C-alpha cells in the first residue's frame, strides 16, 4: 500500500518506520512521501537520507481547511492509501478525515483514553499515575478519541518527570508503530462497532 507520513518535528517515529521498512518488516508498505508543516522539522533530514520525497506546507496563518486541502491535493496526486501521523501537531479537518476514513493512524504517548492532548507526560506525572505507555489508534474527528489498535505500558517511577517518562515511552512507540502499520497495510485490521479487530492468519 502507498503510505504518506505527516510530521511536525524531529520525526523519530518516521525513522522507526523507515528502519522497519528497510529491514523487510513492512512488506506491503511503500513509504511514498513525507509532508511537514514546519520548514525546520528534522523529519526532512530523515526523508532526504532515505530518498523519500518531501513536501513543506507551512501551516502558519492558514485556516485548517485551506491547509488540509493542500495536503489532500498532494496525497491524491500521489495515490496515497494510508496516512501515518508521526508527531504531527495539527488537528485534521472533517473533510480530510472523511477522505481517508479508517485510513489514518496516530501514536499517542499515553494509555488512552487517559491523558489525551499535547501534555500527556505532564498530565500523567501530575496525576501520580503508576502506569503510562503509548497507544496507536485510528484518527476520528475528536482529539485522540479514535478506535484503539494497540497499546503498551511502562511503569511510572516516583522520581520520574516529563523528560524521563518520555525517554521510557519513546522506544515502545518505535516498536509498536511499525507493527501496527504492517497489520494495516496487510489488511488485517477491521473496525466493528467502534472496536478494532485484528485478523490472524
Give the model confidence (pLDDT) of 95-121 as tens digits.
999 999 999 999 999 999 999 999 999
Instruction: Give pLDDT, residue 36.
Output: 97
Give the model confidence (pLDDT) of 120-171 as tens digits.
999 999 999 999 999 999 999 989 999 999 999 999 999 999 999 999 999 9
Residue 134 gets the label, from left (phi > 0), alpha (psi -120 to 50) or beta, of beta
Give the model confidence (pLDDT) of 13-23 as tens digits.
999 999 999 99
Q: Catalytic residue positions?
A: 108
Enter the DSSP assignment of 108.
E
Instruction: Give pLDDT, residue 201.
Output: 57
Q: Are 146 and 139 in contact (CB under 8 A)?
A: yes
The domain locations on the chain are 2-198
Q: What distance lies between CA 42 and its chain's CA centroid?
A: 16
Averaged pLDDT, 79-85:
98
Give the model confidence (pLDDT) of 171-186 as tens digits.
999 999 999 999 999 9
Instruction: Give pLDDT, residue 200.
Output: 75
**pTM recorded for the entire structure:** 0.95
d(CA 167, CA 110): 13
State the fold for domain 2-198: Rossmann fold (3.40.50)
> Taking the chain, what is the end-to-end CA distance rounded to the nearest angstrom?
19
d(CA 78, CA 32): 8
Amino acid at each position: 500500500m502507498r503510505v504518506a507520513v505527516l510530521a511536525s518535528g524531529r520525526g523519530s517515529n518516521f525513522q522507526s518506520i523507515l528502519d522497519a521498512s528497510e529491514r523487510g518488516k513492512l512488506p506491503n508498505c511503500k513509504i511514498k512521501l513525507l509532508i511537514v508543516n514546519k520548514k525546520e522539522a528534522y523529519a526532512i533530514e530523515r526523508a532526504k537520507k532515505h530518498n523519500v520525497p518531501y513536501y513543506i506546507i507551512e501551516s502558519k496563518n492558514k485556516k485548517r481547511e485551506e491547509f488540509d486541502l493542500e495536503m489532500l491535493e498532494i496525497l491524491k496526486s500521489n495515490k496515497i492509501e494510508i496516512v501515518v501521523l508521526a508527531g504531527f501537531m495539527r488537528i485534521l479537518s472533517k473533510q480530510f478525515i472523511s477522505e481517508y476514513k479508517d485510513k489514518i493512524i496516530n501514536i499517542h504517548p499515553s494509555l488512552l483514553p487517559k491523558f489525551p492532548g499535547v501534555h500527556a507526560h505532564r498530565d500523567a506525572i501530575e496525576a501520580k499515575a503508576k502506569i503510562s505507555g503509548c497507544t496507536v489508534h485510528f484518527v476520528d474527528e475528536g482529539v485522540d478519541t479514535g478506535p484503539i489498535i494497540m497499546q503498551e505500558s511502562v511503569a511510572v517511577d516516583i522520581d520520574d518527570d516529563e523528560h524521563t517518562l518520555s525517554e521510557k515511552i519513546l522506544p515502545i512507540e518505535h516498536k509498536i508503530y511499525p507493527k501496527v502499520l504492517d497489520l494495516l497495510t496487510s489488511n488485517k485490521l477491521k473496525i466493528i462497532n467502534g472496536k478494532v479487530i485484528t485478523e490472524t492468519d
